[in-house]
């Protein structure tokens, strides 16, 4: 019986640091959340109880309008596409999502309704395909311009 109690006491719980981690960083177990007083999980940036950040820079970090616009202007660079291709790619994604949404929004009760919904879905998918083809063509023509 006592052996079982010793095994239970020595069991490692997921939120507590191991003795090796405590030995390597003794201050890790002393950090508590300012908002709720809970101990931080070792290596976490946020409190697992209330979600508050570990420090003020993390807690008050939210993107403003200027940062969001700057992120939008970096999308073509991230995708490695010219601006026109990136816009057409976004339009194609929107059309594909609209084709999927048409099936969820409209319910068909008769054969004529079902045919109308299918035609709308086909039109949205054609728009998506045209957008992707145009983005691909503009991407290839942009590479040819850069090469010469």
Condensed to tens digits (0 to 9), the pLDDT of residues 8-38 reads 555 656 556 566 665 665 544 457 777 787 8
Contact 79, 132 (CB under 8 A): no
Contact indicator for 101, 48 with CB cutoff of 8 Å: no
Q: Enter the pTM of the model.
A: 0.50
**What pLDDT sits at residue 57?**
47
Per-residue pLDDT band at 107 (split at 50, 70, 90): confident
């Amino acid at each position: 019986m006592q052996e079982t109690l010793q095994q239970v006491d020595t069991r490692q719980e997921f939120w507590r640091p191991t003795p090796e981690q405590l030995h390597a960083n003794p201050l890790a177990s002393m950090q508590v959340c300012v908002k709720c007083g809970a101990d931080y999980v070792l290596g976490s940036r946020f409190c697992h109880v209330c979600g508050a950040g570990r420090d003020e820079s993390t807690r008050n970090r939210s993107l403003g309008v200027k940062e969001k616009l700057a992120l939008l202007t970096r999308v073509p660079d991230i995708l490695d596409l010219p601006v026109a291709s990136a816009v057409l790619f976004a339009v194609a994604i929107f059309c594909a999502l609209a084709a999927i949404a048409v099936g969820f929004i409209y319910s068909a009760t008769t054969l004529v309704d079902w045919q109308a919904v299918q035609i709308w879905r086909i039109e949205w998918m054609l728009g998506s395909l045209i957008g992707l083809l145009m983005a691909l063509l503009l991407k290839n023509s942009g590479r040819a311009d850069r090469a010469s």
